[in-house]
Amino acid sequence: MSAASPITTGARAADAAAVVPASTFQRWPLSDAARVESGRILGGLVYGWMEDGAALPDGLTAVPAPMLVQQQVRADVWLASGPVEAGQTGNVRWRHDGRHLFGAIDLPEDGSGLEALARRAYGDLFACLARTGFAHLHRLWNYLPRINEDGGGLERYRQFNAGRQQAFLDAGQAAFEGAPAACALGLHRGGLILRFLAARVPPQPIENPRQTPAWRYPADYGPRAPTFSRAAVVCQPDGTKHLFVSGTASIVGHATVHVDDLQAQLEETLRNLDAVLAEANHHGGGGFTLGGSDAVVYVRRPEDAPVLRDQLAAALGAQSPFLRRALFLHADICRRDLLLEIETHMSIADRPAAAVAPPPEAAETRRTTSLPDLDDLTR
């Protein structure tokens, strides 16, 4: 395949890796990601990976939540733009290529409570950034068990928020305006799981005019506000642009809307995603589209996944690129009354051939979209 030719449907990741630009997330079946030459992967997240302890390709880290609707494990792979240096700072395993740093923390609960655990994890994270010189967080993935349970007078998510915000303040990092894009989900496996992407240049924080900034939520949602922006736009010197849209749900202002109404929560979430994309395009020079992005749909009740899939098909089209690429994962959302949350990300390369290339799994995804595998939806 010549370097200029677009990636055709059915191309394998190892071939794709030869032509796609580095420093963008590429969504592949794990089996394809495993074929990428060792050392070319900076980092990434493997969705649906439930095999504790089994080895993943260097740099790839598990998100141990079951896939719903279709079952093949998927990886969002960030290719390195040069030689990778790897190390460990405290509890952080990190890898960088001189431009980006991908880090991972997996901490078991030790009985000290989630506030202390989050503060310790984030303390190590910021120590890692200080040591390596990647001062700016772009995207954080937060996963914690039993997120909606009471942790001794305070919901565990709220304890987590307290420890997270304090660690940002301890490190002199932007805990309010300018916070990174993020998500926070409850998984049914693992302890405190953090994944993050940092760089030497700051991202541009994006807010949603339909929603109160999360860092300004009133105390009804906990003593310390969550620490994230609605999205982050990053413009690279080489012309590549990235958009990371945080977990987005059925919240208007600061209130959950459409309690117990799955379809209405999805519609409100799509309105919020549209609003965030419009802001990102306004501040980031345009080109970001929902259809061009790789989403994860987190679903509280597994039986809702095929319903959401059908509603997305009705709203966006059964063959919509968004739906063909989206992953559905089983997770608890950080407010008890939320049934779903959608996050997404997109890169725009300055190489148009790569930017418009379909993902290598497009044909397979189309097939599962019309013929869903519902095996793991039955409890």
**Given 41, 125, 182, 357, the residue binding ligand 3EB (CB under 6 A):** 182
Q: Which helix (H) or strand (E) holds 160?
A: helix 156-170
Rounded Cα–Cα distance for residues 142 and 9 (Å): 33
The catalytic residue among 341, 343, 361, 364 is 341
Should residue 214 be labelled a site residue for ligand 3EB when binding is judged by CB under 6 A? yes
CB nearest ligand 3EB: which residue? 247
- Out of 63, 67, 77, 249, the residue judged to bind ligand 3EB by CB under 6 A: 249
- Which residues in 297-336 contact ligand 3EB (CB under 6 A)? 334
For ligand 3EB, the closer CB: 26 or 142: 142
d(CA 97, CA 104): 15
> Which of residues 18 and 264 has its CB atom nearest to ligand 3EB in the complex?
264
Using rule CB under 6 A, residue 142 touches ligand 3EB: yes
Q: Catalytic annotation on 207? A: no
Query: What is the nearest approach in angstroms of ligand 3EB to the Cβ of residue 217?
Result: 7
Counting contacts by CB under 6 A, is residue 114 touching ligand 3EB? no
Structure tokens at 300: 């509280």
Q: Find the length of the chain.
A: 379
- Whether residue 283 contacts residue 320, with contact meaning beta carbons closer than 8 Å, is answered with no
Strand, helix or coil at 212?
Answer: coil
266: exposed, middle or buried (Cβ count in 10 Å: 0-12, 13-18, 19+)? buried
Does 205 help bind ligand 3EB (rule: CB under 6 A)? Answer: no
Across the beta sheet with 85-89, the strand order is 85-89, 92-96, 100-107, 192-199, 136-145, 181-187, 332-333
Residue 251 interacts with ligand 3EB (CB under 6 A): yes or no: yes
In the window 333-352, what residues touch ligand 3EB (CB under 6 A)? 334
Size of site (CB under 6 A) for ligand 3EB: 12
For residue 378, give both structure tokens. 């039955």
Residues that bind ligand 3EB (CB under 6 A): 142, 182-184, 214, 226, 228, 246-247, 249, 251, 334
Catalytic residues, by residue number, are 341
